[in-house]
Structures are given as C-alpha cells and as structure tokens.
Amino acid sequence: MKVFSILAVILLFGTIDFQKNSPGNELFVVITTADAETQMMAMVLATQSVNQDVAVRILLCGEAGNLAIVEYTSPVFAPSNRSPKQLLTGLIERDITVEVCGIFLPNRNFTESDLIPGVTIASPPEVAGYMKQDNVRYFTF
C-alpha cells in the first residue's frame, strides 16, 4: 500500500511537470479581423491561456493592428465591461510579446511612436522561425 501511494504521488507530480514542458505549450495568436467581438474573444482566450501557464505571443495585422495604436479606441463588451484593447494592455503588462506585422506601419499614416508601450514591430524572418517550432500552436482570428 505504501509503495502504491508513493508511486501515485510520483506519477501525479511527474505528469504535472510533463504537461508544463510538453510540446504545444506555446500559443501564437494572429489577429487580423476588424470585427471587435472576434478581437475580444481572441484576447479572452489569450488571457485564459496565460492564466493556465501557457506562453502566448500575439501578432496584430491588418485592421487588428489598430488595437496597438495609442489613439485607437475599441468598444467595451459585457459581461466584463472591458474592451479588446484593455485586455491587450493587460497581456502586455504580464510581459506577453505583442507585435504588429512588419508591413502594418509603413502602409498607414502611423509610425512606431504611435504604438502603445510594449508593442513592437515583428521581424518576418524571426516570426517564421518561431512558427516552425514544434511546440507552438498557431491560432488566427
């Protein structure tokens, strides 16, 4: 009985440790949609993933890149009474990597100084290298 209990504890903690370090424990979220409700759900899922110890990286492209612009305001959604931009800011405060596509700024009347603090410009070669890693799951919204 004692051996069984010890074995059960080892298996339990070994499984927990394995799950934290297993492939697929990184989430790459690419948001391109202009639809604010979809943006909100992407941010909710990213936040919940971070809450479950998943490393999250966010890439904002197309109209979704506006979330990274200081002057941009996004709508508020129930039940949290928060906006996609507020959730994005919260993720940045938790040290999540947030980038805009490399072609976002050059094709608009914005510069890097228009980005909210914590958002950087993605390097396509670096992003491509990140995406091909076996432990990265890729989601688009």
Please tell me which of 3-12, 16-25, 27-36 the model is most confident about, judged by mean pLDDT.
Answer: 27-36
Residue 9 included in any domain: no
Mean pLDDT score, 8-24: 43
| 122 to 6, 69, 81, 107: CA distances (angstroms) | 48, 15, 30, 14
Residue 53 included in any domain: yes
Domain coverage including residue 53: 23-140
Domains: count for the chain: 1
Residue 134 included in any domain: yes
In whole angstroms, give the CA distance from residue 22 to residue 110. Answer: 40
Residue 5's pLDDT is 40
In whole angstroms, give the CA distance from residue 8 to residue 81. Answer: 44
Output 109 or 18, whichever has higher pLDDT.
109
3-state secondary structure of 69: strand
Residue 4 included in any domain: no
For position 93, which CATH number holds? 3.40.1260.10
Chain mean pLDDT for the chain: 88
Residue 10 included in any domain: no
Residue 121 included in any domain: yes
Residue 17 included in any domain: no
